[in-house]
Amino acid sequence: MLGLNKKDAGLFTIVIVLTMLAPFILNPFPENSELAQFNAGYPDLMQRFVIFGIFAIGFNILFGLTGYLSFGHAAFLGVGSYAAIWMMKLLTLNVIPAIIMGIIFAGLCGGGVGFVARSRSGIYFSILTLAFAQMSYALAYSVLTPITGGETGLQIKATDSPLMSSVPEGEIGRANLFGLEMGSSYELSVGGWLFTFNAGYYIAAVCMLIAFYLSIRLFRSPFGMMLRAVKSNQQRMNYTGLNSKPYTLAAFVISGMYAGLAGGLMVAMDTQVGPERMFWTASGEVVLMAILGGVGTLIGPVLGAGMIKYMENIISKINDNILHQWFAFMPDGIEDFMVFIIHPFIGKGWHLTLGIVFMLVVIFLPGGLVEGGQRIGRLFGRKKRAEAEAESTAKTPAE
Amino acid sequence: MEALILQVLNGLDKGSAYALIALGLTLIFGTLGVVNFAHGALFMIGAFCAVTLQRLLSLSREIVDETKTDFLGNPLKVDIPYLYDWFGADAGQSIINWSVPLAILFSIPIMVIVGFAMERGLIKHFYKRPHADQILVTFGLAIVLQEIIKYFYGANPIPTPAPPAFTGSFDFGVLLGFDPFQIVYPYWRLIYFSFAMIIIAGVFAFLQFTTFGMVVRAGMADRETVGMLGINIDKRFTIMFAIAACVAGLAGVMYTPINSPNYHMGMDFLVLSFVVVVVGGMGSLPGAVLAGFLLGILESFASMAQVIAIIPGINQIIIYLVAIIVLLTRPRGLMGRKGVMEE
């Protein structure tokens, strides 16, 4: 199917089904139940799942394949966002030109930065990319204020009148796709459940699927093979007469374009940008996502992005009262003790949970969640086989 | 001329902090071959040692002072630090005022323990893993450490003043024969700079003139051979890690009066310190110190009003700009050796 082998086609189909049915899958608990706070099926969070998924897929093309650890990837996200919002302010409120512009600008910046940074490898590359990202953050914050809006960032205002869209006087324009507004959603109420189907989410999801498909093709292509060769032994590659630099540069630009796509989509969903999007912590976050999910695997980064964004939203929402409800069945003293123990890890302390989970993953599961899944799968597989063998051996003497 | 000298002086204190952190980073990298992203967190822990000591010293009991009343006419409650009871009011207060210098003594054992625990508990297991893994696990550790501090001390900066004897500033210009009030420099910054110089000199002397330092230098050059000579080099490297942690911690302790410590100060300094290390040359101790002071002074020059008028925004990006230029023209940094961290 579509030039994919059977295994990849299976994976791709699963991803398609999961993203399309996400409003159902992420809302497993009825609206009024106590567990409803674990529901992730609201548009804002689902959009973030897929957008950061795209960002992480792009990062993975660079880090997972070539082994170049970029610590400044958020800069391209920011550039894409700024380009997209200017398209919306000036040309049209339709999201497609904005997204395309985001990709192009991020790609151009990726080309420039990559051209300089690729001349060094190892930690020098990380520091160079970090330096570029911090520079663009600082510039967006101070000198480039006429273009970036400085600290307040950019929003679509009532005074903006895009050339090709007619916005009524004094009204703030909303992002749309040929008239379909990003914020519009259809709500389906079945029993106690409420499912929200959001236009913006599905547009972002389609972008994610295309991005995912392209990354599968890239992973399986000769070009992807070259990138892997860069990672495993660049020197040997050079000795065989191949110049590895154009390949790494191309990977850098591609992954920058993915970041630009994510930035453009972010603007399409929520029409505002601020320089903090380019800060190095944002770059660190995408590194965490890719590592947590599994670097170098196809689905890993998407899983990692989903997990971090889920934790960020859900864990930070839990508070002491909810904990008291959970442990209400315990004797009072133990209940208070449990709440006391868990308290630092919830609410505002979710970064602590994230840090610990991340450390545990790096220490024990260098392959991330994907490797964890494979290990569990193997464990069960072996158990089944062992059981089958035990059964067969148990049966034979009885005969 | 006055302005130039003033900028050099202003750059020195920040440069000292960069140099101290970069020195520790380089020590760890040179000995253990580990890229420690948690080094900024050690700097922050040092700063919070000062905060903790200040709080411990000002522990107080509450008494009702019958002679005074508050605005409602009720007897006023007054906090009396226990130190007042033990040493008398004057001596007690001066001990509290001197909490930052005292924290130097307080922080050394803490930093040594933290350093040992980090090396033996975590980093030891990462010697054979790729550099990317080391960066990532220490990055995770840095997040955890800073979140723990945030949990206990809150997110706001905590003011920790210098002793009153050092709060003012003195007229440096008069010493050099300029007009009075042209070059005024705070006492504490001067102390910070001298302190940094003493620590740096101490570390270099320790490495250069003691048998222990000689063995460590031999281990840095060729770890395997030193091990084959029957020397337990791992143990010595662990001690070096603890010393590096101490250097970062002391840099943090003394920095608190200059900038009130908050939980993310470590990360803020870490990013810049890495740039410093790379500019100085990965693995070169003199390079780290030199680049630290150089970048600190450059940063302060770039924030002069005249310079900003010519190139707007230069003060924000100068360090990164210099790093990019240095990396592209002198790939190994100012004083780096060949073949360090190349792949």
Give this complex's ipTM.
0.81
Query: Is B149 a member of any domain?
Result: yes
Residue A281 in contact with residue A354, Cβ under 8 Å? no
pLDDT digits (tens, 9 = 90+) for A222-277: 999 999 998 888 888 889 888 888 999 999 999 999 999 999 999 888 888 888 88
**Buried/exposed B15-51: b ≥16 CB within 10 Å, e otherwise:** bbbbbbbbbbbbbbbbbbbbbbbbbbbbbbbbbbbbb
Residues on chain A touching B30 (C-beta within 8 angstroms): none
Window 52-81 of A, Cβ < 8 Å to B: 67, 69
pLDDT digits (tens, 9 = 90+) for B101-150: 888 898 999 999 999 999 998 888 888 888 778 888 888 899 899 889 98
pLDDT of residue A399: 39
Report DSSP state, residue B124: G
Query: Is B285 a member of any domain?
Result: yes
Q: Is B152 on the interface with A (CB under 8 A)?
A: no
Residue A71 in contact with residue A133, Cβ under 8 Å? yes
Query: Is B311 a member of any domain?
Result: yes
Query: Is B226 a member of any domain?
Result: yes
In degrees, to the nearest 5, what angle opens at C-alpha A52 toward C-alphas A81 and A50?
A: 105
- Give me the domains of chain A, ranges plus CATH numbers: 6-297 (1.10.3470)
In degrees, to the nearest 5, what angle opens at C-alpha B292 toward C-alphas A144 and B177?
A: 95
How many domains does chain B fold into? 1
pLDDT digits (tens, 9 = 90+) for A173-213: 777 777 777 777 777 777 777 787 888 888 899 999 999 99
Directed axis angle between helix A199-220 and helix A222-239, to 10°? 40
Chosen from B129, B134, B137, B270 to mutate, greatest number of chain A CBs within 10 A = B137
DSSP secondary structure string for all residues of B4-19: HHHHHHHHHHHHHHHH
Amino acid present at B187: Y
pLDDT digits (tens, 9 = 90+) for B2-31: 778 888 888 888 889 889 989 988 888 888
Rounded Cα distance between B65 and B148, Å, is 38
CATH number at residue B297: 1.10.3470
Tokens of B85: 């009871």
pLDDT digits (tens, 9 = 90+) for B150-209: 888 888 888 888 888 777 777 777 777 777 777 778 888 888 899 999 999 999 999 999
Beta bridge partners of B69: B75
Mean pLDDT over residues A101-112, rounded?
A: 93
* Closest residue on chain A to B143 (Cα): A355
Q: How far away is chain A from the Cα of B276, in angstroms, using its nearest Cα? A: 10
Tokens of B74: 């009720």
Residues on chain A touching B323 (C-beta within 8 angstroms): 127-128, 131
Q: Please choose, from the candidates A336, A317, A316, the residue with its C-alpha nearest in 3D space to the C-alpha of residue A326.
A: A336
Residue percentage of chain A with pLDDT more than 90: 19
Among A12-16, A259-263, B66-70, the minimum mean pLDDT is found in: B66-70
Query: Is B262 a member of any domain?
Result: yes
pLDDT of residue A398: 43
pLDDT of residue B343: 46
Residues on chain B touching A127 (C-beta within 8 angstroms): 274-275, 278, 323, 327
Rounded Cα distance between A303 and B72, Å, is 61
A and B: number of Cβ contacts within 8 A: 112
**A395 pLDDT exceeds 60?**
no
Rounded Cα distance between B137 and A362, Å, is 6
Domain that holds residue B193: 2-56+98-329
Residue A302 in contact with residue A56, Cβ under 8 Å? yes
**B275 pLDDT exceeds 90?**
no
Mean pLDDT of chain A: 83
Which whole-number Å values give the CA distances from A236 to A230, B57, B141, B341, B343, in the listed order? 9, 62, 35, 18, 13
Amino acid present at A122: G
Q: How far away is chain B from the Cα of A103, in angstroms, using its nearest Cα? A: 25
Query: Is B291 a member of any domain?
Result: yes
* Closest residue on chain B to A360 (Cα): B137
Do B328 and A359 count as a contact with CB atoms less than 8 A apart? no
